[in-house]
Amino acid sequence: MSERGTTAAQQFYGRWARLYDFLASATPGLSQLRGRAVDELGLASGDTVIEMGCGTGANFSHLRKRVGPNGTVVGVDFTRGMLQQARNRVEREGWKNVHLVQADAAAFELRGEVDAVLATFVVGMLDDPHTTIGRWLDGISSGGGLALLDAGQSTHPYSWPVNQAFRGLVIASTPGGGTNFEKPPWNVLDERVAEARRMLSERTVETSNSEHALGIVRITGGKIP
């Protein structure tokens, strides 16, 4: 992401971190979808999982449940305010094996044994999802998993009203309302998500793609050969 884009995203998510935390945790049905995305990682007790763009940590309970007390969860995000909400969650729950790192997920180096990477509602914010997903895949151990959970315009029949509502949500949740793009921000989002899913499909085995919530939500997962 350009320096200006990064700063705008950090300011935006920093300002709305508390509200985001509420919506990320309380939106009906979302926790189940988070759980389904985490299932795609194929985690086992004792594993190490990295969550890119972890935000306020709404996935942590799902990840912790799968890796158990001897596993490790690392949350990476570049927005201080979002990480502060995540830190509050970790302290409130008394989780000792959840660690937080403030860093750019597009440049984050995966070191040591990494069993899985998760990114939910993040790849649509990456300037170059192809390169970034490739870098993540390179850092995951053989047999490990990568899963993405994203929203996008639906292709279902009768999807017009759903897509109108979705476009409104994209404008509200994109730094600057997405006015800095040459195309409508929902098209940019769709293209980036499609590119990320394509890269994942090319490089993984046992790849699965599913659509939920009238086709607005997509979950993609695969294993490193």
Tokens 């309970």 -> residue: 61
Distance between CA atoms of 181 and 133, rounded to whole angstroms? 22
Only one of the segments 60-68, 72-80, 88-96, 138-146 lies at the binding site for ligand SAM (rule: CB under 6 A); that segment is 72-80
Shortest approach of ligand SAM to residue 207 CB, angstroms? 21
Q: Does 136 help bind ligand SAM (rule: CB under 6 A)?
A: no
* Candidate residues 125, 133, 146, 188; the one interacting with ligand SAM per rule CB under 6 A: 125
Distance between CA atoms of 27 and 185, rounded to whole angstroms? 23
Only one of the segments 35-43, 120-128, 136-144, 209-217 lies at the binding site for ligand SAM (rule: CB under 6 A); that segment is 120-128
Q: Does 151 help bind ligand SAM (rule: CB under 6 A)?
A: no
Q: Does 220 help bind ligand SAM (rule: CB under 6 A)?
A: no
Only one of the segments 42-50, 100-108, 161-169, 206-214 lies at the binding site for ligand SAM (rule: CB under 6 A); that segment is 100-108
Q: Does 13 help bind ligand SAM (rule: CB under 6 A)?
A: yes
